[in-house]
């Protein structure tokens, strides 16, 4: 019996790994990239002196952080069709995950921008930079270094959260594990194998985080 389970784990490893490579990782990357764009925009809105922009940003962050990701997925995939908006599983998952990331990462980006000494703004203006140029050339590069650890943690969490996309029929690694487990009835073994692959991915991402932190260290004002 143990031999057959071991053989099953060996046979199922590549299908699960392939599902991670072609499903889980691309889904996480696409959602994080879009979510980061949303986060930067929302963070700048939060910092704006315009009360309307700031209020919209606060409301968005409050809604995202105050509702479960699973509910957000269901609203987009199952709820929107009731009002005539039908989205396929993959785009629906990307929209839900990116909106979720945007809500959490916006606060990280905002805090990182606020952590940059105000003197850096003055330095940018001294050399003739406009407000926008100072933000993009001076402030954001320094804020990026500060935000790398929490944003990396957000991305690692996102990789694991992609498993929720299986609930709306997206075929990523956990969905593939469910299919294999349902066919073989070896639920414990297959799910533990899937957990191992998630762990390996997250360890690799943690190593990448450390390398990126060292590279961005030169942008930090000392």
Lowest mean pLDDT among 82-86, 148-152, 177-181: 148-152
Joined together, the tokens standing for residue 83 give: 């009002």
SS3 letters across 73-130: HHHHHHHHHHHCCCCCHHHHHHHHHHHHHHHHHHHHHHHHHHHCCHHHHHHHHHCCCC
How many distinct structural domains can be found in the chain? 1
pTM score of the predicted model: 0.88
In whole angstroms, what is the distance from residue 67 CA to residue 50 CA? Answer: 26
State the residue range of the domain holding 56: 2-219
For residues 155 and 203, what is the distance between their CA atoms, to the nearest angstrom?
Answer: 12
Distance CA 94, CA 215 (A): 29
Average per-residue pLDDT for the chain: 88
**CATH assignment at residue 122:** 1.10.3720.10
The answer, yes or no, to whether residue 202 has pLDDT greater than 90, is yes
Give 127's contacts (C-beta < 8 A, 6+ positions apart): none
pLDDT at residue 3 in the model = 59
Q: Name the band, by pLDDT with cuts 50, 70 and 90, for residue 10.
A: confident
**37: confidence class by pLDDT, cuts 50, 70, 90:** very high
């Amino acid at each position: 019996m143990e031999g057959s389970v071991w053989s099953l784990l060996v046979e199922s490893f590549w299908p699960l790994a392939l599902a991670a490579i072609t499903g889980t990782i691309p889904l996480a990357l696409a959602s994080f990239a879009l979510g980061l764009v949303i986060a930067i925009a929302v963070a700048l809105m939060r910092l704006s002196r315009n009360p309307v922009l700031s209020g919209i940003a606060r409301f968005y962050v409050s809604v995202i952080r105050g509702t479960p990701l699973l509910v957000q997925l269901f609203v987009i995939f199952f709820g929107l069709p009731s009002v005539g908006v039908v989205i396929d599983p993959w785009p629906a998952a990307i929209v839900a995950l990116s909106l979720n990331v945007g809500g959490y990462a916006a606060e990280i980006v905002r805090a990182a921008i606020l952590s940059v000494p105000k003197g850096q703004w003055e330095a940018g203006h001294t050399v003739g930079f406009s407000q926008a140029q100072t933000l993009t050339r001076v402030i954001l590069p320094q804020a990026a270094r500060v935000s790398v650890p929490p944003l990396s943690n957000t991305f690692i969490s996102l990789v694991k959260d992609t498993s929720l996309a299986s609930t709306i029929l997206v075929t990523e690694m956990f969905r593939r594990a469910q299919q294999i487990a349902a066919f073989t009835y070896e639920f414990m073994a297959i799910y533990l194998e899937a957990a191992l692959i998630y762990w390996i991915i997250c360890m690799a991402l943690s190593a990448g985080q450390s390398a990126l932190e060292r590279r961005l260290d030169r942008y930090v004002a000392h």
